[in-house]
């Protein structure tokens, strides 16, 4: 089982092209932990900003009456992927997501999704 720090380290080492990772509470917008990033990618700012993305998508799904839950949200930039994984296996800790920024030229998106799903299954918050 992974704690927050171990899960973020695992994400950064097991996902090719990883630029940064965060575990975020989208109810508060606060990052429970961050790893990576750089002067152009402040992971705390990214966590807070992506909280708005998750909240908007959750509201849209509720308004549309869609019964299924969100697995991933993908944002593609010219040179990066931003991947948000809603932690559905942690319903008791409702409102958490894993966020990763990836270098698009080095990342394999399918493998990144697979690794985040695996990390989610082993995460204890």
For the chain, domain boundaries = 4-122
Give tens-digit pLDDT for 65-123: 998 888 999 999 999 999 999 998 654 557 899 999 999 999 999 999 999 999 999 99
Assign a CATH topology to domain 4-122.
Beta-Lactamase (3.30.450)
Q: How many CB atoms lie within 10 A of CB 86?
A: 21
In this structure, are residues 30 and 99 in contact, taking their beta carbons and an 8 Å threshold? Answer: no
Percent of the chain with pLDDT over 90: 85
| pTM, 2 dp | 0.91
Total residue count of the chain as it appears in this document: 125
């Amino acid at each position: 089982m992974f704690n927050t720090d171990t899960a973020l380290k695992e994400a950064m080492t097991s996902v090719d092209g990883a630029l940064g990772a965060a575990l975020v509470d989208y109810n508060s917008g606060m990052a429970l932990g961050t790893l990576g990033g750089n002067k152009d990618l402040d992971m705390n700012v990214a966590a807070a900003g992506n909280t708005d993305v998750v909240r908007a998508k959750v509201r849209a799904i509720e308004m549309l009456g869609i019964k299924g839950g969100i697995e991933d949200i993908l944002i593609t930039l010219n040179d990066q992927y931003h991947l948000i994984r809603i932690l559905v296996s942690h319903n008791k800790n409702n409102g958490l997501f894993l966020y990763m920024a990836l270098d698009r030229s080095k990342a394999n998106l399918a493998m990144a999704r697979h690794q985040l799903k695996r990390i989610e299954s082993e995460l204890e918050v």
